[in-house]
A and B are shown apart, each in its own frame.
Chain A
Amino acid sequence: MVLVLPQARSHLVIFNIMRELKVKGCSGMCTRASSDGESHIKHSELVGGDETCSSLCVHSTPEIEKKYVHRVYDAIAPHFSATRFAKWPKVATFLNSLPSGSLILDAGCGNGKYLGLNPDCFFIGCDISDPLIKICADRGHEVLVADAVNLPYRTGFGDASISIAVLHHLSTENRRKKAVEELIRVVKKGGLVLITVWAAEQEDRSLVTKWTPLAQKYVKEWTGPGSPCVRSPSSLTLQSIPEAEESNSKEQLEDTNESLNEKLEETMHLSSRDQDGSVFLIDAEDNKKQQEYFVPWHLPYHRAEVSGASASALASGLARKDDKKGAVVYDRYYHVFSEGELARLVSGMRNAVVVDQFFDKSNWCIILEKTS
């Protein structure tokens, strides 16, 4: 949950709520939770990390993805779809390079903007968002509702698979890895897999200043190993995260990473005096390797009004109002990829090799070929 203090132009992120989300998440996920209370749940049973847990938990959707990915896309589906038509040239090039008659599986197809792009191929799309899949079906595409981490396809049926802007919505490395394994599993030997993800190294740095960074220690707490599942209520912390002034954004475009960090640090310092009793947890070092974010989605009031989903999203705290922008604001969870991270993620795959990798429009992209 994010509250906005207009006078400080800063976000207050109440991490207690995230902790609560995480606890709910693990009790739902780990059926072996002890009967005498949550404090006895072993961290090895939480999402992420180690092998004993992976088979049990990797397919279970953490609460953060349910709330800040699935529910958000369900709520914004028509607006999202209406604004998502531009096709990345590199994805189009890949799809057009595939032999005529290829069966292409799009895992996490969204509004289906790549389905049918190569008219000589047969596309099948899936997405976890039912409203987005309905939009695809209305456009005449062949689609189904399914989870990219656990595809309901038999092995080796596809000629190629694609995952465009999907993996960055998965909140643990094990789940991101599992999704890659699935993309490889469902194609034939010799089949190609294209994966693109948002890069931490955004070409337009002013964009990043509009995102809400999530402090590493809290992200680790609900996704990583080695963290206590339950903490005492006294450890409730507020974190204030500045949003850069919009008037600065032009300037910031030309800023280097370092000076931007300095600016952020400065702003944080200033705001810290404004906030009574709040604690800052992101230092400059954290900021450089920041990969976990909430990225806002602005749903204009004129659209929000026609959709009952927004009223209930506001009531439940999933969304907030921004009268200045005239929009209902939703937060979407992102794990943006650092340079080399996608290559590292796929390097463990025994039955696939990297045939190409590139950086395109602030995305890391990789093409794999299934070898056995």
Chain B
Amino acid sequence: MRLLIHNMLSSNIKGVINGFPLRIEVDKVEEKQVDFDAAFLRKMFHKIEWKALLDAALTLGYAELPEEAPDSSVLESDEFLQKFHHALLELDLEEGALVCPETGRKFPVTKGIPNMLLHEDEV
């Protein structure tokens, strides 16, 4: 699971008001090289919740992103885009779990695949 996906996922357990962002528990992280696409990154930038990406990247051991949410002027900086690219698309949670921020329910991530299915008593 790449952090782009993490930035989109939200716990949808019945009764949970704010299921975003899911906390990450790491068992194994892999880095996978992905082609750099500046146009795609500029488009994604506006969708991304910065704090969630920053914390997720830190959890996965990457500390190069700016702490403060940058404004869109950074999109002109190649250096920024490279870091953003790496955090968003190249860090991959291979084994671990995603934890609902409200209930603590763990969604397992196995072989890079999050399982977000709910139990009968959670819907």
Contact = CB atoms under 8 A, between A and B. Distances in A.
Do A and B associate with each other? yes
Interface of A: 28-29, 31, 59-60, 100-101, 103, 122, 124, 126, 128, 130, 133-134, 137, 142-147, 150-154, 157-158
B121 interface: yes
13 contacts: A28-B120, A59-B14, A60-B123, A101-B44, A103-B44, A122-B40, A124-B8, A128-B117, A133-B113, A145-B113, A145-B117, A152-B9, A154-B10
B121 A154 contact: no
Contact of B11 (A29, A100, A152): A152
Interface string B2-27: 10110011111010000110000000
Interface in B16-53: 19-20, 37, 39-40, 43-44, 47
B47 to A, nearest CB: 6
Given A59-B118, A59-B123, A101-B40, 18 more contacts: A29-B120, A60-B120, A101-B44, A103-B44, A122-B4, A124-B5, A133-B113, A134-B113, A142-B2, A143-B113, A144-B116, A146-B117, A152-B12, A152-B19, A153-B9, A154-B10, A154-B20, A157-B8
A133 B109 CA distance: 13
Nearest to A157: B8
Given A103-B44, A134-B113, A144 B5 contact: yes
B123 A150 contact: yes
B39 A100 contact: yes
B101 interface: no
A31 B1 CA distance: 34
B115 interface: yes
Interface string B37-78: 101100110010000000000000000000000000000000
Contacts of A124: 5, 8
Nearest to A105: B8
Nearest to B47: A157
A153 B19 CA distance: 10
Interface residues of B toward A: which range?
20 to 34
Given A100-B39, A122-B40, A137-B112, A153 B8 contact: yes
Nearest to A182: B12
Interface string B83-108: 00000000000000000000000000
Contacts of A103: 44, 47
A151 B10 CA distance: 9
Contacts of B4: 122, 142
Contacts of A133: 113
B8 A145 contact: no
Contacts of B111: 134, 137
B5 A152 contact: no
B66 to A, nearest CB: 22
Contacts of B114: 144-145
A146 B39 contact: no
A144 B14 contact: no
Contacts of A142: 2, 4-5
A122, A145, A150, A154: which has the most chain B beta carbons within 10 Å? A154
B99 to A, nearest CB: 13
Given A137-B112, A142-B5, A153 B10 contact: yes
B12 A144 contact: no
Contacts of A29: 120
Nearest to A138: B111
A227 to B, nearest CB: 22
Given A100-B39, A101-B43, A146 B116 contact: yes
B115 A144 contact: yes
A60 B30 CA distance: 35
Contacts of B37: 101
Contacts of B115: 130, 144-145
A47 to B, nearest CB: 12
- In this complex, which of B2, B20, B37, B113 has the most chain A Cβ atoms within 10 angstroms of its Cβ? B113
B118 A147 contact: yes
Contacts of B44: 101, 103
A153 B115 CA distance: 13
Given A28-B120, A150-B118, A152-B9, A137 B113 contact: yes
A122 B37 CA distance: 11
Contacts of B113: 133-134, 137, 143-145
